Structure 1
Amino acid sequence: MMSFHGIGLLPVFLVGLLGSVHCAGMCGGIVAALSAPGQARRAFPAPVRTAGAATFAWPAAATHVAAYNAGRLASYAIAGALAGGLAGGLGRLAGLPVLQVAGYWAANLMLVALGLYLIDAWRGLAWLERGGRVLWRRVAPMLAVLKPFDSPGRLFAAGALWGWLPCGMVYSVLVTAMLSGSAPGGAAVMLAFGLGTLPMLAAIGMAGVRLRTVLQLRAVRAACGLLVLGFGLLGLWRASGGLPAGAAELLCIGAAQ
């Protein structure tokens, strides 16, 4: 996969793909409500773990899935642009290349934290989600204006608001978006991440509770979490100068060669 402003996008995509097992629990209720035309007039659910299946017509559900995921990816791109643009401005102001090196360490440490989070070995990222609820409490009331969720435009807008739901996984990737040093670079990083989460969330939207149950199995979460943890450790090895040049660098968060 390509790089943008020095950041390799392949590992970001893979983190989104593997980490999206977390989305099955965190966002499962939202996906179910937005995917099912029969539930379109119900209130947008709170960001909590929920259970229950929804019955829906496949063509309408596919339209819903495409619309709200497009909105979600748009909000990720905006967040990435803000993070990359802010970090780029501060970096130019400080004029210290060491900040970029520190950023690579921070980004890979966040991947380690995410991997540990997914395997339930350490819940440190949960405090980030708790902090994000302050923002969510301001965003969530806007959803009332969009009801009922019965058109692609309303679903796109609902998905765009969903993108600001407090999520430790999203916050961890925003650190990588900051490393791009520019608004377009940050947007590209977050889009790569969002595209990684898309297959899982689209499948959940179409298959419903059955797939969500499988994805929440401890073995599945552990396998994905260990892979994300491996990416982080590999990136830390590279940041320390211990990883020789080679194909393994394609899996590291860091400057693309």
Structure 2
Amino acid sequence: MTEFGLQLLSLFSIGLLGSGHCLVMCGGMAAALQLGMTDQSPSQRTALQLWLSLGRLTTYSLLGALVASFGALLLASLGLALFWLKLLSGLLLLAMALYLTRLWFGLNQLERAGAVLWRQIQPVAKKLLPLNSRRKALGYGLCWGFLPCGLVYSALGWSLASGHVWQGGTMMFAFGMGTLPAILLSGSAAAALIRLKSQLWVRVLTGLLLGIYAIYLIWLALAPRIF
């Protein structure tokens, strides 16, 4: 497997491992939206959920491409070494691991900063309710992608280090695909996953695995300078 393929697999895994966090951040919204679809048939509700997810993943991909283009601009115009971008992405992911294990809550600052943008977007999203058409579901999903989330910001840090627009977008799409199972769950299944996620051993295991990914990224950044 190529290095980029490994990165995609890693980001998908991060989205999957952090899905409990996604349920806490977004699961309530997803459940509320499902309640608003009660007049739809099961197949229609499923279709609307998929259009919602498509919108959210589209926003993630666009943000990944935008962040990657910003990273490429820094590399080109400021002569910033790729080392610093890779190191930043590793540190952000390490911060996420500490956040999930409740050892350090520094990512709350990033989420608060993202909340400023979300307050501007949220009124637009509300105008799309109720979600009784694919167009509205897609539009709401596009807005939903801007919901403040430390896990998303950590993944964006990895996209920043890619330095390539299409790679950054693809990486965030892979991350978003990993979060899908948790977001698409509803009712008792979602509640069961939230209870599982709240258990100490699950938080520690998830944080440990994300921490390993983070150390791997930091190693990739530092190794050429050490050896």
Checking the alignment, whether the CA contact within 8 Å between 2:37 and 2:132 is kept in structure 1 is: no
User: Deviation per CA, 1:32-55, whole angstroms, max 9, x where unpaired?
Assistant: 022335468xxxxxxxxxxxxxxx
2:93 is the alignment partner of 1:129 = no
- 1:27 aligns with 26
Aligned letter for 2:208?
L
Q: Which residue of 2 aligns with 1:68?
A: 52
> Relative to structure 1, is the Cα distance of residues 206 and 70 closer, same or farther in structure 2, using a 3 angstrom cutoff?
farther
Matched to 2:150, the amino acid is G
State whether structure 2 residue 217 is matched by structure 1 residue 218: no
Q: 1:7 to 1:182 in 2, by over 3 A?
A: farther
Match of 1:112 in 2: 94
Alignment check: 8 A CA contact 2:68 2:160 kept = yes
Identical positions, percent: 37
Show the 5 A alignment for 1:161-172: 161-172=143-154
Query: Does the 8 Å CA contact 1:28/1:212 hold for their aligned counterparts?
Result: no
Confirm or deny: 8 A CA contact 1:87 1:178 kept in the other structure: yes
Q: Distance in 2 between matches of 1:75 and 1:205?
A: 26
**Letter of the 1:28 counterpart:** G
Closer, same or farther: CA 108–205 of 1 in aligned 2, 3 Å? farther
- Which stretch shows the higher mean deviation, 214-223 or 26-35? 214-223
TM-score by length of 2: 0.88
In the TM superposition, what is the alpha-carbon distance from 1:117 to its structure 2 partner? Answer: 0.3
Match runs of 1:47-196 below 5 Å: 58-96=42-80, 99-196=81-178
What does the per-residue CA deviation read over 1:86-145, in whole Å, with 9 as the maximum and x for residues that have no partner?
A: 22122112334xx21111111111111100100101101011101111000100000232
Q: Is the 8 A contact 2:94 2:211 kept in 1?
A: yes
1:8 match: 7
Residue pair 1:136, 1:164 contacting (<8 A) in 2 also: yes
Say what the alpha-carbon RMSD is for the aligned residues. Answer: 2.4
- How far does residue 216 in structure 1 lie from its aligned partner after superposition? 3.2
For normalisation by structure 1, the TM-score amounts to 0.78
The structural deviation recorded for 1:7 is 7.8
> 2:23, 2:190 within 8 Å by CA — same for their partners in 1?
no
Structure with bigger helix share is: 2
Give yes or no for contact 1:87–1:181 (8 Å, CA) kept in 2: yes
1:3 to partner: Cα distance: 5.2
Q: Secondary structure in 2 aligned to 1:107? A: helix
**Deviation per residue, 1:213-236 (Å, 9 max, x gap):** 333333323321221112112332
